[in-house]
Chain A
């Protein structure tokens, strides 16, 4: 069974704080993704990575950065959290082909006060 784990289920931070969201997958997948899910907007891609140290911007990268130093781990960084970054953050991984299934973690509900 593919397992994608996220470091926290719930997180509360203050405006201006630096926030790290961690994601780990145990299936040796090449691709990893960060999405945010908001009511009425569905899932929107923030960043994805197709290899260690490689990254590509998704649809809404502003205010975020990512790090992939090891194949199994993909981190999302909010350099200076803002209230409009309050959201559900979902990490996913997939093998290497573009039609390969993406497997999602359970999500992190981030609240920025």
Chain B
């Protein structure tokens, strides 16, 4: 049972435009959400997070939005750059250190 879902396996975006990556979850107990980025042959690296008491968190070009009623979060990257090409995983947790990850979205930025 996939509690965290990323329904788009891949996404291509023109350089300079906005990239929007989506994530849905089913477990209403989740109260902390994260995005990780993964380049080939490297481990995932933390990008940005959001607590369920907020609906938006910004860090430079990256913004995460949380819609608790829809159990949906999204990551916006503006403007998109070639170095943003990677696989993006959303993750969620509650209660302990265990993270539940989504299946990932491969983002390709077209120069």
A-contacting residues, B69-98, CB 8 Å: 89, 91, 93, 95-98
Give Cα A33 to B100, complex, Å.
12
One of B13-21, B57-65, B101-109 contacting the partner: B101-109
Chain B CB within 8 A of A75 CB: no
Docked-complex contact B9 and A106, CB < 8 angstroms: no
Q: Which B-chain residue is minimally distant from A57 (CB atoms)?
A: B98
Chain A CB within 8 A of B111 CB: no
Contact of B32 among A40, A42, A43, A98 (CB under 8 A): A98
Tier of interface size on chain B: 20 to 34
Chain A 84-113 interface mask (CB, 8 Å, partner B; 1/0): 000000101010011111111111000000
Chain B CB within 8 A of A48 CB: yes
Chain B CB within 8 A of A58 CB: yes
Question: A44: which B residues are within 8 A, CB to CB?
Answer: 101
Docked-complex contact A42 and B102, CB < 8 angstroms: yes
Chain B CB within 8 A of A21 CB: no
Docked-complex contact B44 and A104, CB < 8 angstroms: yes
Give Cα A48 to B96, complex, Å.
11
Contact of A42 among B41, B42, B101 (CB under 8 A): B101
Q: Which A-chain residue is minimally distant from B9 (CB atoms)?
A: A40
Given the interface contacts A58-B98, A94-B97, does A42 sit within 8 Å of B103 by beta carbon? Answer: yes
B-contacting residues, A35-57, CB 8 Å: 35, 40-45, 48, 50, 56
Task: Give me 8 other A-B pairs in contact (C-beta within 8 A), A48-B98, A99-B93, A106-B41 excluded.
Answer: A33-B97, A40-B9, A40-B103, A45-B100, A98-B32, A98-B93, A98-B96, A105-B43
Hey, which bits of chain A sit against chain B, CB under 8 A? 4, 9, 31, 33, 35, 40-45, 48, 50, 56, 58-59, 90, 92, 94, 97-107
Hey, which bits of chain B sit against chain A, CB under 8 A? 4, 6, 9, 32, 41-46, 49, 51, 89, 91, 93, 95-104
